[in-house]
Amino acid sequence: MEELFADIERLAQVEKRVAMATLIATRGTSPKREGAKMWVGEEGRILGSVTIGGCIDARVIEESEKALASSQSQLLQMNLGNEDAWEVGFTCAGNVDVLVEPFDLINPRNQLLNLYRAIRAAVDEGQCAVLVTGLTDTNNKLLVFEDGKQSGTIGDPELDRQAREGRWRSG
């Protein structure tokens, strides 16, 4: 988590806007785990990756540029057949989903930036926090703190309730 916060602050010193790409789901083989991040700056800087390079990261870069141009989040679903997988370094086929979200690093009212800064403040105080993003409308976000406080909504009261109760946890 510290790396995420450091990346945001480091990028804020050299970029005005970036797209944050997050690997949110994998099925089959993937060289990285869910949560892997890639940052694409509007000035062309790239930090991190969601796979190991190749056509998936190239597509993420392309879609990140579109997300920055439109200021709209994108949910990418990429399916690799056996032949495609081999070409990008996977040993067998798989599917990946990547959420690309534009970040305005200089606008003090930017919702996403402020949510991550609130998470950082909670973590710095020794608390846990979870940011839940709706996938049908990625602008809908619910921030749930360990002490029960919350901010925002996923857009569905039942999903909000489940997130608050921790039903998103596996196991």
pLDDT at 135: 82
Contacts 24+ apart (CB under 8 A), 144-153: 146/122, 151/115, 151/118, 152/115
Q: Kindly report, residue by residue over 49-69, the tens digit of the pLDDT.
A: 998 777 788 889 999 999 999
Instruction: Give residue limits of the domains in the chain.
Output: 2-104, 111-165
Lowest mean pLDDT among 57-61, 89-93, 134-138: 89-93
- Side chain identity at residue 133, one-letter code: T
pLDDT at 143: 94
- Side chain identity at residue 50, one-letter code: V
Type and span of the H or E element at 57: helix 54-70
Quick one: what percent of the chain has pLDDT higher than 90? 36
Give the dihedral sign, CA 110/116/120/123. Answer: positive
Please say if the pLDDT value at position 80 is more than 90. no
